[in-house]
Amino acid sequence: IYDDVPYENVDLIQRGTSLIYEDVHQDGPQETEDLGWSSSEFESYSEESGEESKPGAEPTKHKVSFQPKLSPDLHRLKERYSRTKRDIQALKVGGRDMLKQRYDGKMTQLMKAAKSGTKDGLEKTKIAVMRTFLNRKDVPGDSEEEEMGFLEVPVNDLKHLFPELGPMPEGLSPQQVVRRHILGSIVQSERSYVDSLRRILQDYRNPLVEMEPKVLSLRKCQVVFFRVKEILQCHSMFQIALSSRVAEWDTTEKIGDLFVASFSKSMVLDVYSEYVNNFTTAMSLIKKACLTKPAFLEFLKKRQMGSVDRVTLYGLMVKPIQRFPQFILLLQDMLKNTPKGHADRLSLQLALTELETLAEKLNEQKRLADQVAEIQQLTKSVSDRSSINKLLSSGQRQLLLCETLTETVYSDRGQLIKSKERKVFLLNDMLVCTNINFKCVGQLEISTLVPLGPKYIVKWNAALPQVQVVEVGQESSAHEKDNVVIPNLGLKKHMPSSQSSHNKVYLGPPRLFQELQDLQKDLAVVEQITLLISTLHGTYQNLNMTVAQDWCLALQRLMRVKEEEIHSANKCRLRLLLPGKPDKSGRPVNVMVVFITPNPLSKISWVNRLHLAKIALREENQPGWLCPEEDKKCKAPFWCPILVSRMPAFSSRALDLQLGAAVHSPVHSSLLGFSAVSTSLPQGYLWVGGGQEGSGGQVDIFSLNRAAPRTVKSFPVSAQVLCSEYIPERSEEERADGLETSADQALPPQPVICLGLQDGSILVYGSVDMGTQCLLTGKSPGLQPVLCLKHSPDYLFAGLQDGTVAAYARTSGGFWDLEAEPACLTVGLAPVRTLLTLDDAVWASCGNQVTVFDATTLKAQQTFEAHPEEEASVTHMIKAGSGVWMAFSCGSSVRLFHTETLEHLQEINIATRTTFALPGQKNVRVTSLLICQGLLWVGTDQGILVLLPVPRLEGIPKITGESPSVAARMGNTCGLPDVAGLSIPPAPARIMGAGVQSQSHWSSMPALE
């Protein structure tokens, strides 16, 4: 860091340090210049402190001290000020030793700069040192506890022993016994973890620091073991509290509040975050030291062999990253065995939320650090002169996915000729394929101690918009579009479009697909032959209807076998069409590359990520969401949803219809889902209903099984559609294995869609039959408008306009008797706007109050006030974990309630979160709620969607103060297209979930997005 101080006279260094300061004691007016260094700051100075000793450097012979000429009073005042300042700083950081270390570090840098100074003496040296201090960046390891405000508390191992459970008392219930065993697992797990942290310090860090000669410098030791000491301190304090709680377990049986108190502090997040962010750097430094310093490698090997469990340093240092997921699993088990009403249940749910939030933040930081490290490793493998190096070094690239895939080459007959592993990198706008090079001398021995990443050689790269995924049945369109080059034993076969129909090359699954098509054609011919045989007048031995039908059955069996072969071969095969060099005539030529993925889910992930990455490059997604800049830096790519498609909710002839309800009906197919175009949308159909008040209604059905949604059916209904509900069927596996529960046995024999209308009608449709057959029809009591529908294992509930809930019981066939008089539950005088079914209860809203009914007996259990204002009616309820979020007819807040105690836990003002998109907007009303994939979707009447991260597990789905929020304008500013030439103003946003596993959502306004 002192490169800016030139060596003008080497002899100056060898004459002794006294010549450096020859100008300091000259007579002259120096009272106005305060050098800022007192004699007390040179105490116990060592030139070699904090740095590695350099050969040829002379140690300091004597202490150096100098003082500016000050009056005695001013001198005493300055000394008093210095002592007071040191005492205050010592109290803040934990002791005088740290202050002394900081002074030693400063003086080391000053003296080194002075020794390398110019003839101008101290003045130019001071300027150089000051410039160095100003330009120096903070590096992890400068001071282990500097700027942390961390107070080290010494823990006496003799006084604070490890927590231990006493003998089990008699008369415990089975759940209490299980909870004791889980507590014992927590104690044992924490003891093992603390021992591992101590081993890192005692077996590795301390010997490396004290070793002479040093195999690793002090500064590198600080970087490698950064924040390990602080993590140990946090868990030592937690262990003391755990000992106290374990000692009184049989009387209190509470552990959740201890986790909340210990791991909700910002200090814990800060310490672990810095450790996680530094982990990749530490491992890289260890790897480099192993390659360059044999003594360090030998030290690691001896320490590993000398340990009882033979765990490597990497195995010990990765444990802090794995700690919180282990805690989460233990607390989940504890929560499962804690009955409702137990004093520890709410505390356990809060603790689970705290740990999940903490683990998610650390995982996000680890993912970002790993992505940055992968891009850096890829950049190092590329030549500095290549164009891709400039693209990778620009800092604009984000790594979305990287994986080791197997590239395969086939013969003309579809036989595998050769294969080789490649590392494929999917960036936000580029696809890069590399060879993997493990030919590094001496790395095999090192890899047993610390993971070593391979070196890459870039084979090819392609811009993402030019990459196409080609699946079964799509080869002909790809061949007809452009010339195709298929790698085959190093040769390239050019297939002009004029010859593609005669000289097709089938690679593996395409060959199977061609055989399937041949079987289908043969079956059609045999069926025609069967019809002709039926017209024969005579009787022949091998030419009769029985033989012909056997032929048909045999071909059908072969077709089923071929379909299974196609399915098995295609689900792990990723085929990409890449742009190649033009041929001699200048026409574009595409290259077909075939990869084998490790498993079917990996193939789906690649196809999905490729498709989403292309969509993310569209103008409407640049950016699609608005969020604070600091949140963008701490989040991995694709943490926000991407706008996939938009379409009118109704046809151009029905623009005056109001959208009332929409629901997704999933459809699963053996071959569907492995194509290049269907994975970004959920399989199945989207049912959209609406109409006009006082007139008829309409239902449109959209197919989601193609590249873009398309309308497949539209039919009228008697009145405006106000609500809808999808009810699944029992799976065939559950029926065959007999694993269905009582709830599954009550499900209908086929999936159905229930619609509630303005005129009080309840319609039940089969969701698979595209003929839209109406299976059941019923009327509500008094023909009251049906505002909401929900189903449970025993009933179909309908919330009505007059403040009652109609409960239709199931029949033995799995359907409901809509013609019989339903059980009516009186909730209040206001309309029942929303219903929520839980495991053993049903929540019904009426005005600003919510009534809880027993799901089996239908008896009212409790009524509570959800909002203090009477005019604020509950309009939406959505469950997540152990909480329920509610939205209201007025106001911009959403409220969180506990599902068991009905306690109000949190309130969030959405208006403050929409200022990113619409600054100055205060009168915001929430129009929809949805929770999916760890996000709370909030739609507003301003056309703004707000996303808030919430926990996914069984804890309390509260929103922390540090939770980032994103907002998207779904009106004109988001590029919403005009419908039939009409401008679309900002409209209320409504959200329909398409299932948790589909990861797709629909936001509705005059158009669907």
Domains delineated in the chain:
11-135 (no CATH), 174-380 (1.20.900.10), 387-617 (2.30.29.30)
Res. 364: pLDDT tops 90: no
Helix 509-533 × helix 545-570 angle, to 10°: 170
Q: Where are the beta strands (DSSP E) in 325-469?
A: 399-410, 416-427, 430-437, 455-463, 468-469
Proportion of the chain above pLDDT 90, given as a percent:
24
Position 60: which residue type? T
Predicted confidence band at 719 (pLDDT cuts at 50, 70, 90)?
A: very high
Lowest-pLDDT range, 301-305, 540-544, 923-927? 540-544
Three-point CA angle 307, 310, 316, nearest 5°: 90
Decide if pLDDT at 733 tops 70: no
Where is pLDDT greater, at 212 or 397? 212
How is residue 359 written in tokens? 């683990």
**DSSP alpha helix (H) spans, 248-344:** 249-252, 256-263, 266-292, 294-306, 313-317, 319-336
pLDDT of residue 255: 92
Strands (E), 112-224: none
What is the pLDDT at residue 133?
Answer: 47
SS3 71: coil
Residue 943: helix, strand or coil by DSSP?
Answer: coil
Q: pLDDT band at 282, cuts 50/70/90? A: very high
Helices (H) and strands (E) in the chain, counts: 25, 37
pLDDT category, 864, cuts 50, 70, 90?
very high
Q: How confident is the model at residue 7 (pLDDT cuts 50, 70, 90)?
A: very low
**For 94-153, how does the pLDDT look when each residue is reduced to its tens digit (9 = 90+)?**
444 554 555 566 556 555 555 555 445 555 555 554 555 444 444 444 444 444 455 565
Q: Is 834 or 70 the better-scoring residue by pLDDT?
A: 834
The token pair that represents 732 in the structure block: 């065939």
For the chain, the residue count is: 1009
On whether the CB atoms of residues 934 and 952 are closer than 8 A, the answer is yes
pLDDT band at 622 (very low <50, low <70, confident <90, very high): confident
3-state secondary structure of 627: coil
Q: Which among 883, 866, 411, 425 is positioned nearest to 875, based on CA atoms?
A: 866
For position 127, what pLDDT does the model report? 58
> pLDDT tens digits for 195-233?
999 999 999 999 999 988 889 999 999 999 999 999 999
Per the model's pLDDT, the better-predicted residue between 310 and 96 turns out to be 310
β-strands 589-596, 697-703: how paired? unpaired
For residue 146, how many other CB atoms are within 10 A of its CB? 14
Residue 64 pLDDT exceeds 80: no
What's the sign of the alpha-carbon dihedral 116, 118, 122, 126?
negative
Per-residue pLDDT band at 601 (split at 50, 70, 90): confident
Range in 14-23, 531-540, 657-666 with the lowest mean pLDDT = 14-23
Residue with tokens 């530490």: 282
**pLDDT band with cut points at 50, 70 and 90 for residue 385:** low
Q: Is the pLDDT of residue 947 over 50?
A: yes
- pTM over 0.75, yes/no: no
Percent of the chain with pLDDT over 70: 66
pLDDT at position 853, please? 94
In this predicted model, which residue has the larger pLDDT, 111 or 985? 111
Half-sphere exposure of 542 (CA within 13 A, CB side): 1
Contact 273, 230 (CB under 8 A): no
pLDDT at 670 over 60: no
Q: Would you say residue 970 has pLDDT above 70?
A: no
Spatial separation of the C-alpha atoms in residues 599 and 595, rounded to whole Å: 12
Q: At what angle do helices 345-380 and 319-336 cross, to 10 degrees?
A: 150
**pLDDT (0 to 100) of residue 501:** 34
Question: What is the mean predicted confidence (pLDDT) over 305-312?
Answer: 89
Q: Given pLDDT bands bounded at 50, 70 and 90, which one contains residue 729?
A: confident
Q: pLDDT tens, 883-919?
A: 999 999 988 899 999 999 999 999 998 888 777 667 7
Residue in 575, 566, 314 with CA at minimum distance from that of residue 450: 314
763/303 Cα distance (integer angstroms): 73
Q: Are strands 483-488 and 589-596 parallel, antiparallel or unpaired?
A: parallel
677 vs 979: which has the higher pLDDT: 677
Buried b (16+ CB within 10 A) or exposed e, 993-1002: bbbeebebbb
Mean pLDDT computed over 274-299: 90
DSSP helix, strand, coil percent of the chain (3-state; round to 5): 35, 25, 40
> Considering the chain, what is the average pLDDT of its residues?
75
Amino acid at 17: T
Token digits of residue 690: 């609406």
With residue 935 as reference, give the H or E element that holds it.
strand 935-940
Which of 363-372, 495-504, 638-647, 798-807 is modeled with the greatest confidence?
798-807
Q: Closest Cα to residue 423, out of 598, 182, 177, 175?
A: 598
Give the pLDDT score at 16: 40
Nearest CA to 924 among 938, 910, 945, 906? 910
